[in-house]
Chain A
């Protein structure tokens, strides 16, 4: 397994180096430093001030020097400062991680058991109207855009019914739940449709297997069969889906954060895109790539933990 992990790790390193190269070409080789300066210092700034900004930020150096600097900085996790406001990017990451995690973690922690529970429920009642109604609702739920959930949720639950604040964020312990309740609800409802649809298929497939029939013949209860045998044997597809989703918990959600005014990493990415802040954007993409590659390897390792038949080599 170690050899496999090392090999996957090396593939990962090559992938990351490629991503970094691509980032440089996309963000810095073709970007016009003068426009970046104009965005940062303002429309009315005279040319000499713009030139000074370009020099201060090192965009006047030859391309190969900037490329080496780009690789060194990223690989040593020296993220530097934002092009928009000169704030240290590492600090912004630290500040943004908590608001992002404050709603992505509860969404994940509530959404996953709910989706698995509902899937087991509809799979248990397979081929009854509960199953069919469950599938129809799941398909409906997954067909609706997240944006509609957000706007609809804000309108219905925030504006009409007055249950939650329409938007905003405050990390104070006495009010934080008010702010994350609606984003979490929307995150759970928005994600549960596709999850139920997927997990139900996996569970129904498992319930038709011989071991389930054998267990039932031996007098094992239905609840026990579903919870212990079916669920355990369906773990590999569940893990694949779950572990791949974990990196996105850290990078936040672009839409939810923007619409709810949550000052997390998703909102930071949107802001960087809008403000031509390529220094911040490259860090966000780099971290996303690192997490994705890392968690892919973890997914492979986790297979061996849930299914002893799986051998990595």
Chain B
């Protein structure tokens, strides 16, 4: 009996297995990539999902009509599910249409949802009507798609949305299946399904950026069966957590709170038709200069069919320190660098010898984004109503901010000081351009302040330092310290800038009410086009005029607006570049923003992971990546041998502490 008890204790201990490996032993030797997700995903509904976190998954699962070339920069669109990238057709009445043609014979992953279309059916062909269906879902008010405004440029789109909401008041209509509801309204006028593989989209006005939206998961083909079947009833999932894949991977495990596993989709068109050698189904043979040196054009991979991995495992890892430590142990293939370990990992801008000795590589990339300090241009002191005086005040404040110093102190030197709203990698970015108001010059700043009537920063009305308010939507000490840096810079000019820190909700409320003077914000590209950055200063997008619109500086300059309207519809070329340059000159002079940085990401990769080229936008990059599982297993074993002697020392120390006491106690008792 006693022997059996000890055996069970022994078994229990054996089960605990003294190992720090968080993955099952069966994973050894499998081509699986381990990635950390810093947060739980909310939705995988492609019409709704709009965060980089969710796109990391949806971009691998949902293929789109177009995608970006994996290696080329500036980003270049290439056909994916579509046969080619279409040219717009202009109509005499100002409308513009695009004709999309899908490849024939592509099918969805196998899924029980397709039984709605016929008993025993587990998949079906991907057709143009599925893209029309997804576009109608974006218009559907019940879906609450965040990109509804973008697609409202499609003829009849808003009308469809309104009519659908009105017809749903009738319970009989609301009870109809989703595709039947859309069909009952006759669809959207500007979305025309011309055949099984042909779709025409008609826009009320030119909008060349539309094509970029067809490279994002929002516009992936969605089978109506999936939306109708996955309704959350009778134990079925909701559609938002059950994607039906068109991409190289499908979701094989979805435990939203802990892990998401993507497995190779054998129904993907790249796997079914390798002979097509479609652009997104083979590893590219050309990229930008330097790619070959970085190993991204390795002959071992060039021209080989994709994907290389069998699985991608996403694990939720909310805390950055455990994540980084697991990376160091080899249990994640890549990681960012946590602030706490930055100096240990990066020395003089390069990988430290310790880390290099472990075979890691450091890849730096500049993200397509911009962070800036903005002035509320409707404010009577810092804005347009103050005329030349306000402009000179803004110019002076811009000249006082030393971004290099800011980046050095707060970002460990990570970040490219921005000269304009257009970041590197986006057409119109000029690496040689130097904004005359973005090089710190306190002498010139003081002179400008005097010209503005604020000699020494003194407000002549109050005879005290000019008092301004800097609104911040994060009351944390970390943010306060950052903002204090700017406040101190302006103090050198004699200005008294107060930090008005509130929580984010209150901050947004202030923005809605227009009750702010100076603020700090950022913008991350939706798509790689200068329009996506310069529209942040377009008068029509002023948030005071159009609540929720992104021009929170409320900058409205007729010259800028005219140039913007011409620029946004032009293809990339000399004329467009010239217009952008003129727009930047206006921004440079008017100073609605003090441009701060374009973020610079530092990523660490282990030696066993290949072909990871950073991309700042939503991208189906998982199919290009490969790992060497044997090398990984070897390294993990070397780095993670359990050290057991402290357990013995601890046990002996505990016994040494207690036994003499017990012996003495009983001896005395006797």
Chain A residues at the B interface, C-beta cutoff of 8 Å: 32, 34-35, 38, 40-42, 44-50, 52-53, 56, 84-88, 95-96, 99, 125, 128-130, 133, 151, 154-155, 158-170, 172, 174-175, 177-179, 181, 258-261, 263, 267-268, 271
Contact B665 A128 (CB under 8 A): yes
Contact B238 A86 (CB under 8 A): yes
B116-163 with Cβ < 8 A to chain A: 141-142, 144-146, 148-149
User: What would 18 A/B residue contacts be, using CB atoms closer than 8 Å?
Assistant: A44-B526, A85-B42, A86-B43, A128-B664, A133-B657, A154-B321, A154-B322, A160-B643, A162-B641, A162-B643, A172-B24, A177-B12, A177-B15, A181-B16, A259-B322, A261-B258, A261-B316, A261-B317
Q: Decide if B48 is an interface residue (CB 8 Å cutoff).
A: yes
Q: Decide if B505 is an interface residue (CB 8 Å cutoff).
A: yes
Q: In the assembled complex, which residues on chain B have CB atoms less than 8 Å from the CB atom of A38?
A: 508
Return B658 CB to nearest CB of chain A, in Å. Answer: 6
Q: Closest residue of chain B to A168, judged by CB? A: B22
Taken together as a complex, chains A and B put the C-alpha atoms of A99 and B240 apart, in Å, by: 23
Contact B146 A46 (CB under 8 A): yes
Q: Closest residue of chain A to B523, judged by CB? A: A44
Q: In the assembled complex, which residues on chain A have CB atoms less than 8 Å from the CB atom of B642?
A: 161-163
Taken together as a complex, chains A and B put the C-alpha atoms of A269 and B318 apart, in Å, by: 14
Chain B 304-323: CB-based contact to A (< 8 A → 1; otherwise 0)? 00000000000111110111
Contact A47 B146 (CB under 8 A): no
Q: Decide if B492 is an interface residue (CB 8 Å cutoff).
A: no
Besides A96-B257, A260-B322, 7 other CB < 8 A contacts? A46-B146, A87-B238, A128-B661, A130-B662, A161-B646, A167-B22, A175-B23
Chain B 50-77: CB-based contact to A (< 8 A → 1; otherwise 0)? 1100000000000000000000000000
Determine which of A53, A163, A179, A261 lies in contact with B319 in the assembled complex, contact meaning CB atoms within 8 Å.
A261
Contact A179 B22 (CB under 8 A): yes
Determine which of B21, B42, B241 lies in contact with A40 in the assembled complex, contact meaning CB atoms within 8 Å.
B42
Chain B 16-29: CB-based contact to A (< 8 A → 1; otherwise 0)? 11111111110000
Return B38 CB to nearest CB of chain A, in Å. Answer: 11
Q: Which of B25, B316, B322 has the most CB of A within 10 A?
A: B322
Chain B 507-522: CB-based contact to A (< 8 A → 1; otherwise 0)? 0110000000000000
Determine which of A34, A158, A169, A271 lies in contact with B40 in the assembled complex, contact meaning CB atoms within 8 Å.
A271
Taken together as a complex, chains A and B put the C-alpha atoms of A46 and B148 apart, in Å, by: 8
Taken together as a complex, chains A and B put the C-alpha atoms of A174 and B14 apart, in Å, by: 11
Q: Decide if B413 is an interface residue (CB 8 Å cutoff).
A: no
Contact B316 A263 (CB under 8 A): yes
Contact B547 A161 (CB under 8 A): no
Taken together as a complex, chains A and B put the C-alpha atoms of A193 and B25 apart, in Å, by: 36
Known: A88-B232, A268-B257. A165 touches B145 (CB 8 A): no
Q: In the assembled complex, which residues on chain A have CB atoms less than 8 Å from the CB atom of B641?
A: 162
Contact B326 A48 (CB under 8 A): no
Q: In the assembled complex, which residues on chain B have CB atoms less than 8 Å from the CB atom of A46?
A: 146, 148-149, 548
Contact A261 B318 (CB under 8 A): yes
Return B170 CB to nearest CB of chain A, in Å. Answer: 17
Q: In the assembled complex, which residues on chain B have CB atoms less than 8 Å from the CB atom of A155?
A: 325
Q: Decide if B286 is an interface residue (CB 8 Å cutoff).
A: no
Q: Decide if B329 is an interface residue (CB 8 Å cutoff).
A: yes
Q: In the assembled complex, which residues on chain A have CB atoms less than 8 Å from the CB atom of B48?
A: 41
Q: Closest residue of chain A to B161, judged by CB? A: A48
Contact B326 A167 (CB under 8 A): yes
Q: In the assembled complex, which residues on chain A have CB atoms less than 8 Å from the CB atom of B318?
A: 258, 261
Chain B residues at the A interface, C-beta cutoff of 8 Å: 12, 15-25, 40, 42-43, 48, 50-51, 141-142, 144-146, 148-149, 232, 238, 240-241, 255-259, 315-319, 321-323, 325-326, 328-329, 331, 504-505, 508-509, 526, 547-548, 550, 640-644, 646, 657-658, 661-662, 664-665
Determine which of A45, A163, A170 lies in contact with B22 in the assembled complex, contact meaning CB atoms within 8 Å.
A170
Contact A263 B146 (CB under 8 A): no
Q: In the assembled complex, which residues on chain B have CB atoms less than 8 Å from the CB atom of A53?
A: 144
Q: In the assembled complex, which residues on chain A have CB atoms less than 8 Å from the CB atom of B504?
A: 35
Q: In the assembled complex, which residues on chain B have CB atoms less than 8 Å from the CB atom of A49?
A: 144-146, 148
Q: In the assembled complex, which residues on chain A have CB atoms less than 8 Å from the CB atom of B141?
A: 52
Contact A130 B322 (CB under 8 A): no
Q: In the assembled complex, which residues on chain B have CB atoms less than 8 Å from the CB atom of A40?
A: 42
Return A176 CB to nearest CB of chain B, in Å. Answer: 9
Return B401 CB to nearest CB of chain A, in Å. Answer: 25
Return B132 CB to nearest CB of chain A, in Å. Answer: 21
Q: In the assembled complex, which residues on chain A have CB atoms less than 8 Å from the CB atom of B16?
A: 177-178, 181
Contact B146 A261 (CB under 8 A): no
Determine which of A44, A128, A170 lies in contact with B146 in the assembled complex, contact meaning CB atoms within 8 Å.
A44
Taken together as a complex, chains A and B put the C-alpha atoms of A260 and B20 apart, in Å, by: 13
Q: In the assembled complex, which residues on chain B have CB atoms less than 8 Å from the CB atom of A96?
A: 257
Contact A168 B315 (CB under 8 A): yes
Q: Closest residue of chain B to A46, judged by CB? A: B149
Q: Closest residue of chain A to B328, judged by CB? A: A159
Q: Which of B258, B326, B642 has the most CB of A within 10 A?
A: B258
Taken together as a complex, chains A and B put the C-alpha atoms of A165 and B318 apart, in Å, by: 15
Taken together as a complex, chains A and B put the C-alpha atoms of A165 and B16 apart, in Å, by: 11
Q: In the assembled complex, which residues on chain B have CB atoms less than 8 Å from the CB atom of A159?
A: 325, 328-329
Q: In the assembled complex, which residues on chain B have CB atoms less than 8 Å from the CB atom of A260?
A: 322
Contact B665 A174 (CB under 8 A): no
Q: Closest residue of chain A to B42, judged by CB? A: A85
Contact B662 A125 (CB under 8 A): yes
Determine which of B23, B256, B329, B646 lies in contact with A166 in the assembled complex, contact meaning CB atoms within 8 Å.
B329
Q: In the assembled complex, which residues on chain A have CB atoms less than 8 Å from the CB atom of B256?
A: 87
Determine which of A99, A130, A163, A167 lies in contact with B317 in the assembled complex, contact meaning CB atoms within 8 Å.
A167
Contact A263 B255 (CB under 8 A): yes
Contact B146 A178 (CB under 8 A): no
Q: In the assembled complex, which residues on chain B have CB atoms less than 8 Å from the CB atom of A34?
A: 508
Contact A52 B144 (CB under 8 A): yes
Q: In the assembled complex, which residues on chain B have CB atoms less than 8 Å from the CB atom of A84?
A: 42
Q: In the assembled complex, which residues on chain B have CB atoms less than 8 Å from the CB atom of A154?
A: 321-322, 325
Taken together as a complex, chains A and B put the C-alpha atoms of A27 and B567 apart, in Å, by: 47
Q: In the assembled complex, which residues on chain B have CB atoms less than 8 Å from the CB atom of A170?
A: 22, 24, 258-259
Contact A56 B22 (CB under 8 A): no
Contact A162 B640 (CB under 8 A): yes
Contact A175 B24 (CB under 8 A): yes
Q: In the assembled complex, which residues on chain A have CB atoms less than 8 Å from the CB atom of B526?
A: 44
Q: Closest residue of chain A to B642, judged by CB? A: A162
Contact A161 B643 (CB under 8 A): yes
A-B CB proximity, top 6 nearest: A263-B257, A45-B146, A167-B322, A165-B22, A85-B42, A47-B548
Contact B326 A41 (CB under 8 A): no
Q: In the assembled complex, which residues on chain A have CB atoms less than 8 Å from the CB atom of B322?
A: 154, 158, 166-167, 259-261
Return A222 CB to nearest CB of chain B, in Å. Answer: 9
Q: Closest residue of chain A to B509, judged by CB? A: A32
Return A81 CB to nearest CB of chain B, in Å. Answer: 9
Q: In the assembled complex, which residues on chain A have CB atoms less than 8 Å from the CB atom of B326?
A: 165-168
Return A190 CB to nearest CB of chain B, in Å. Answer: 17
Q: Closest residue of chain A to B142, judged by CB? A: A56
Known: A86-B238, A162-B20. A130 touches B144 (CB 8 A): no
Taken together as a complex, chains A and B put the C-alpha atoms of A128 and B661 apart, in Å, by: 8
Contact B146 A129 (CB under 8 A): no
Q: In the assembled complex, which residues on chain A have CB atoms less than 8 Å from the CB atom of B316?
A: 261, 263
Taken together as a complex, chains A and B put the C-alpha atoms of A204 and B504 apart, in Å, by: 54
Q: In the assembled complex, which residues on chain B have CB atoms less than 8 Å from the CB atom of A128?
A: 661, 664-665
Contact B20 A35 (CB under 8 A): no
Q: In the assembled complex, which residues on chain A have CB atoms less than 8 Å from the CB atom of B142?
A: 52, 56
Taken together as a complex, chains A and B put the C-alpha atoms of A174 and B21 apart, in Å, by: 12
Return A125 CB to nearest CB of chain B, in Å. Answer: 6
Taken together as a complex, chains A and B put the C-alpha atoms of A99 and B257 apart, in Å, by: 10
Taken together as a complex, chains A and B put the C-alpha atoms of A88 and B236 apart, in Å, by: 12
Known: A45-B146, A84-B42. A164 touches B20 (CB 8 A): yes
Contact A178 B19 (CB under 8 A): yes
Return A192 CB to nearest CB of chain B, in Å. Answer: 14
Return A10 CB to nearest CB of chain B, in Å. Answer: 38
Q: Closest residue of chain A to B319, judged by CB? A: A259
Q: In the assembled complex, which residues on chain B have CB atoms less than 8 Å from the CB atom of A172?
A: 24
Contact A125 B665 (CB under 8 A): yes
Q: In the assembled complex, which residues on chain B have CB atoms less than 8 Å from the CB atom of A47?
A: 547-548
